[in-house]
Amino acid sequence: MVSAQQTKFVLDESDLPTQWYNIQADLRTPLAPVMHPGTGQPIGPDDLAPLFPMALIMQEVSQERWIDIPDEVRDVLRLWRPSPLYRARRLERALDTPARIYYKYEGVSPSGSHKPNTAVAQAYYNKRAGVTRLSTETGAGQWGSSLAMACSFFDLECKVYMVKISYQQKPYRRVMMETWGAQVTPSPSSETEAGRQVLSQDSDSPGSLGIAISEAVEDAATRDDTKYSLGSVLNHVLLHQTVIGLETKRQLELAEDEADIVIGCAGGGSNFAGLAFPFAADKLRGERPNLRIIAAEPAACPTLTKGAYAYDFGDTVGLTPLIKMYTLGHNFIPAPLHAGGLRYHGMAPLVCNLYHDDIIEAVALPQLATFEAALQFGRTEGIIPAPETAHAVRVAIDEALRCKAEGVSRTIVFNLSGHGHFDLSAYENYLAGNLQDYDYPLEKVEEALAQLPQVNA
């Protein structure tokens, strides 16, 4: 029997999941093949070998429902996992809502977000394959700092291309990465052909995740000792994040409750997928037809709600294979939002697949409304969310208020993907009234969509 005050639902270390859940085994529509931009043909594992170790490539295409988590990875995850599930009783009281609100707190990881769940796994598989150096990109710095930490655990060199606007807005994330031993370069940089190409067109470019990906991919592709590591979007990344949802389901059992609405913010889709996919499995099996699963994205970068479902490059310059996803066009450079991790033109193909098949929903939110929700959350629950996470908080509050208006009680579960301790300049700007909303940039999106690559698939 759960007491009326219980606030935290915690699992024992021995409850740390032993397997990841692979949603590819349960999709209604199989994923569209990834295409080679040169040949226009589907790519095979060997095409990806210059960038990733074979173990991760095999996870990328695996149709097995369950994949074992290596003991070496679980040993590291145990430093902070299982993460707590909180019942947001104080927020519920402040909203005067009949809804029950829960949040899974991924900010307890050493780098402060969900990102190490995959960083540790990726560093492990690269180390096992004899790789000595990893290159990557980072937006807000959450991913770069997580990979820097994971590389320090497995004794790998780490090179991070950090989106320039975040590099300037979040200097302490850079210091964090350097403290864990990584080398950090603001992107676009003059160190790569891709960076030089962007700078020649716009020397003041604030950068974007798409540009930073181009630089990191080029870095890995042109060096024998280096492979590339991506913090979101790819199937294996989302797979590694499913520990979040698997734990949450067990914690809800402890709470003697069941989710009616599951929410995550979506940049490339990894924290959303990590929480949502184990729940989506029930819906795909027909067991929970009324379960709502909502992805929260910025109105200034509304990939799912306003993008085209089409083949596109994963990066800006066009170095990656072509993937079918909702996209705003690889040339689209989003406004300099403080939710840097949500400034991505595309979205994970697995998340897009579920959206296209109506298994999940999406909403787009203006920046100011997300900070308003983050403040209300911080002032009731204490935790100051990352600006990315604030999008999920906004939707959770809106759904709780809807419960109040309709006079019904529903169970709302959201992913508190990270804390905002390194994003306080954004909060400072918000409190000073210096933040703004950005309109949906219709013209720029149309321009970028007009340049989508042509694929006959």
Residues within the interface to ligand PLP (CB under 6 A): 113, 139-140, 142-143, 232, 265-272, 341-342, 386, 388-389, 417-418
Kindly write down the DSSP assignment for every residue of 392-413, as one continuous string: HHHHHHHHHHHHHHHT---EEE
d(CA 226, CA 151): 13
- Smallest gap from Cβ 146 to ligand PLP, in A, equals 9
Measured at CB, which residue is nearest to ligand PLP? 341
Tokens of 376: 């209300």
- Smallest gap from Cβ 340 to ligand PLP, in A, equals 7
Residue 169 or 417 having the CB closest to ligand PLP:
417
- Smallest gap from Cβ 140 to ligand PLP, in A, equals 4
- Smallest gap from Cβ 348 to ligand PLP, in A, equals 7
Alpha-carbon distances of 50 from 55, 148, 219, 364, rounded to whole Å: 13, 21, 11, 36
Residue 302, preceding peptide bond in cis (omega within 30° of 0): no
Do 257 and 102 touch, CB atoms closer than 8 A?
Answer: yes
Residue 166 or 189 having the CB closest to ligand PLP:
166
Residue 137 or 218 having the CB closest to ligand PLP:
137
Residue 217 or 255 having the CB closest to ligand PLP:
217
Residue 255 or 427 having the CB closest to ligand PLP:
427
State the DSSP H helix or E strand holding residue 263, giving kind and residue range, or none if neither. Answer: strand 261-265
Kindly write down the DSSP assignment for every residue of 191-253, as one continuous string: SSHHHHHHHHH-TT----HHHHHHHHHHHHHT-TTEEE--SSSSHHHHHHHTHHHHHHHHHHH
Residue 351 or 403 having the CB closest to ligand PLP:
351
Alpha-carbon distances of 143 from 50, 139, 180, 226, 404, rounded to whole Å: 22, 7, 13, 18, 37
Q: Is 451 helix (H, G, I), strand (E, B) or coil?
A: coil
Do 149 and 142 touch, CB atoms closer than 8 A?
Answer: no
- Smallest gap from Cβ 256 to ligand PLP, in A, equals 29
Residue 53 or 341 having the CB closest to ligand PLP:
341
- Smallest gap from Cβ 338 to ligand PLP, in A, equals 11
Give the angle 113-243-314 at the CA atoms, nearest 5°: 65
Do 207 and 340 touch, CB atoms closer than 8 A?
Answer: no
- Smallest gap from Cβ 106 to ligand PLP, in A, equals 8
